[in-house]
């Protein structure tokens, strides 16, 4: 992430240094305290909350502050302070270096013996919280921060259960379904053993690289309630049987058959760790041999081989992480013979040429633009930084500058082509336009990654000037598409007139299909977080778009309710919800980008209310109706993605009732 014109310079008395991450309803920044110490600042974007969500989310945010200040443990992220800044609450936390465990599991995994040590520390943290009567209720990889040495810190106690709390009741389902304990799905209250079940799910996934309960949200909940997963060694044969017993005890459906506490779980885990034969169990699991173990010359040779292979072999996230670790180890070695040549002449130079040749440029032929292109760019930037440390900065910079020139040229070609395509009559082909906008933002991200500030400013300026033209065209096409279409869709067609209903359904489908492409184009104007593009659009143009979007919201919700009532196939339901989600995401970006912020807020409220009404409608389907369950699950997934806690909780409650009744 980068500092933008919308990044606050300060939050309360704390200076903002850089963005660290962004969720649906909050942004986390690296900050500096008044005494100069480094902190993490979590700012809730309260202006994006629908009115029915606001009280619940604010209460949980304040609860995170209250609990975080009580907990003092080396494996729990400490909350140092909290307050409000321009009406939005914020937390000040200790700065935990690293990434969340979810990212580590997706990009490289964790060797089994390291996984056991990591989870032992997590259990120590849970034991500390449980001793204070605090149940986390949302233990999952995304809520565990790990540094490069895999030292964990548990975070996000925003939905924790605390003594004498009246924010939630025993029937509330607040956790993440894939990790939630079965007693909570049955509507019973959480206790410490509920956290142990969730920790067992995390441990299973760490050891096997597969979650014990997978599938759609409804399938996951059903499996947690009724199915026992295979023991870990059945999925990963290198694991000893002693580990099976520990994990399967944690995953018992009946809390009374689990470990009585986190300390007992930790003791059993320590005993199982003794069964590991490191040489046997880690064979093929450790991703990259350390340069300190193989020697710096071997590291240089390994680096050359890996980069040479990229001409023919796609670069995965796992391999990118492995090369980065290999490079870090080699740079840390006391002697580095051959490393400069491996990084500069055999690394940066050929990789820069590959980046220039394989970018998603206009007119790129089949197989020319690579799907792993941004990973190649990230590796090139990483090698460029290493070259600076090896006194090869000038040679590396020249090669990178040549690649930057090609990327900048492609940006200008795209802008010229987009202008021609967009102005090609009243019915331009929207597919290529949307795809070109996506590629443009990829190219801008590449310029940012490579540190090409001057070229990035010029490219952004080009798109800022183009934004008004784009939005005007979007409005013209939307107005034409929605002309004559009733806001209530099929509900306006009399029952029994099947020919009229079929014609209306076809007309509505055409409108919605065209609008999806338009939203993709409009969304590109702010997808990269550059509010200047939207500010380049006149307020009247934005207000007109919001008016069309409100009509579109009403039409889509009415159509989906009519389809659900008629028992239509549920497969298109999630796609239509996806369009509403895209519209909501775009509307939230309009809050600070244009004058009609009140109209944008009204649009987000109507979207939220429409989806809530949809949930009520689809929840009425009989428990055995599979399409009804699929629709509820789709609403849950949308609410989770957008941070709509109230709708997500309601959807999980509906799924729970359907599954238990079924």
Catalytic residue set: 138
Q: How far is CA 623 from CA 113, 572, 615, 627, in A?
A: 44, 20, 14, 10
Nearest C-alpha neighbor of 590 from the set 46, 61, 48:
48
The alpha-helical segments, DSSP class H, found in 361-427 are 373-389, 393-422
Q: Count the alpha carbons within 13 Å of 357 in the hemisphere toward its beta carbon.
A: 10
Q: Count the alpha carbons within 13 Å of 134 in the hemisphere toward its beta carbon.
A: 24
Measured CA to CA, the distance from residue 228 to residue 249 in angstroms comes to 11
Nearest C-alpha neighbor of 282 from the set 100, 103, 104, 116:
116
Q: What's the count of helices (H) and strands (E) in the chain, helices before strands?
A: 26, 9
Token duo for residue 592: 């600070």
Number of Cβ atoms within 10 Å of the Cβ of 250: 24
Give pairs for 110-114: CB < 8 Å, separation 24+.
110/150, 110/206, 111/282, 111/285, 111/286, 112/206, 112/207, 112/236, 112/238, 112/239, 112/243, 112/276, 112/281, 112/282, 112/285, 113/273, 113/276, 113/278, 113/281, 113/282, 114/150
Query: What is the side-by-side strand order in the sheet with 152-154?
Result: 99-100, 144-146, 152-154
- Which residue's entry shows tokens 């007139």? 497
**Cα 270 from chain centroid?**
33
Q: Which residues are CB-contacts of 53 (< 8 A; sequence separation ≥ 6)?
A: 608, 644, 645, 646, 647
Q: How far is CA 564 from CA 31, 158, 272, 614, 617, in A?
A: 48, 35, 51, 9, 8
Q: Count the alpha carbons within 13 Å of 72 in the hemisphere toward its beta carbon.
A: 2
Token duo for residue 92: 């000040």
Measured CA to CA, the distance from residue 28 to residue 571 in angstroms comes to 36
Angle at 493 between CA 492 and CA 497, to 5 degrees: 170
Nearest C-alpha neighbor of 528 from the set 474, 471, 599, 448:
448
């Amino acid at each position: 992430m980068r500092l933008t014109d919308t990044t606050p310079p300060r939050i309360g008395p704390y200076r903002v240094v850089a963005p660290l991450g962004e969720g649906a309803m909050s942004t986390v920044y690296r900050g500096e305290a008044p005494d100069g110490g480094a902190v993490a600042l979590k700012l809730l974007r309260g202006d994006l909350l629908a009115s029915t969500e606001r009280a619940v989310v604010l209460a949980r945010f304040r609860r995170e502050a209250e609990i975080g200040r009580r907990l003092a443990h080396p494996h729990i992220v400490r909350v140092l302070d909290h307050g409000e800044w321009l009406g939005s609450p914020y937390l000040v936390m200790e700065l935990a270096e690293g990434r969340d465990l979810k990212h580590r599991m997706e990009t490289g995994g964790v060797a089994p013996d390291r996984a056991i040590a990591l989870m032992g520390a997590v259990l120590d943290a849970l034991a500390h919280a449980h001793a204070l009567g605090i149940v986390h209720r949302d233990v999952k990889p995304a809520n565990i921060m790990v540094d490069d040495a895999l030292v964990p810190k548990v975070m996000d106690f925003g939905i924790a259960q605390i003594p004498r709390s009246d924010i939630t009741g025993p029937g509330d389902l607040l956790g993440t379904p894939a990790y939630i304990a079965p007693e909570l799905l049955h509507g019973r209250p959480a206790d410490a053993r509920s956290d142990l079940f969730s920790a067992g799910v995390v441990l299973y996934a760490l050891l096997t690289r597969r979650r014990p309960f997978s599938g759609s949200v409804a399938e996951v909940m059903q499996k947690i309630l009724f199915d026992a997963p295979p023991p870990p060694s059945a999925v990963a044969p290198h694991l000893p049987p002693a580990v099976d017993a520990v994990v399967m005890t944690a995953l018992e459906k009946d809390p009374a058959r689990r470990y009585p506490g986190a300390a007992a779980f930790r003791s059993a885990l320590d005993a199982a760790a003794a069964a590991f034969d490191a040489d046997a169990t880690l064979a093929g699991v450790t991703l990259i041999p350390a340069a300190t173990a193989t020697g710096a010359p071997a590291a240089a040779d390994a680096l050359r081989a890996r980069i040479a292979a990229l001409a023919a072999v796609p670069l995965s996230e796992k391999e990118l992480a492995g090369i980065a670790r290999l490079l870090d180890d080699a740079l840390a070695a006391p002697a580095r013979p051959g490393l400069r040549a491996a990084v500069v002449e055999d690394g940066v130079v050929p990789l820069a040429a590959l980046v220039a040749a394989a970018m998603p440029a206009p007119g790129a032929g089949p197989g020319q633009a690579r799907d792993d292109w941004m990973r190649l760019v990230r590796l090139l930037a990483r090698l460029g930084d290493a070259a600076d440390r090896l006194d090869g900065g000038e040679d590396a910079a020249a090669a990178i500058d040549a690649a930057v020139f090609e990327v900048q040229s492609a940006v200008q070609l795209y802008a010229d082509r987009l202008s021609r395509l967009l102005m090609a009559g009243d019915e331009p082909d929207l597919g290529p336009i949307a795809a070109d906008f996506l590629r443009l933002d990829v190219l801008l991200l590449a310029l940012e990654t490579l540190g090409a500030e001057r070229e990035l400013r010029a490219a952004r300026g080009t798109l800022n000037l183009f934004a008004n033209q784009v939005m005007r065209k979007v409005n013209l096409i939307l107005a034409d598409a929605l002309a004559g279409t009733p806001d209530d869709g099929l509900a306006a067609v009399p029952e029994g007139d099947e020919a009229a209903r079929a014609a209306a359904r076809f007309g509505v489908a055409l409108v919605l299909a065209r609008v999806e492409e338009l939203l993709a184009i409009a969304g590109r104007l702010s997808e990269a977080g550059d509010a200047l593009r939207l500010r380049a659009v006149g307020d009247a143009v934005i207000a007109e778009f919001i008016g069309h979007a409100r009509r579109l919201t009403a039409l889509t919700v009415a159509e989906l309710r009519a389809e659900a009532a008629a028992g239509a196939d549920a497969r298109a339901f999630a796609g239509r919800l996806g369009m509403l989600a895209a519209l909501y995401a775009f509307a939230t970006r309009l809050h600070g980008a244009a004058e009609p912020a009140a109209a944008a807020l009204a649009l987000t409220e109507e979207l939220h209310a429409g989806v809530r009404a949809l949930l009520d409608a689809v929840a009425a389907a009989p428990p055995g109706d599979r399409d009804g369950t699929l629709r509820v699950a789709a609403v849950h997934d949308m609410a989770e993605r957008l941070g709509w806690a109230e709708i997500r909780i309601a959807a999980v409650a509906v799924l729970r009732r359907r599954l238990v009744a079924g």
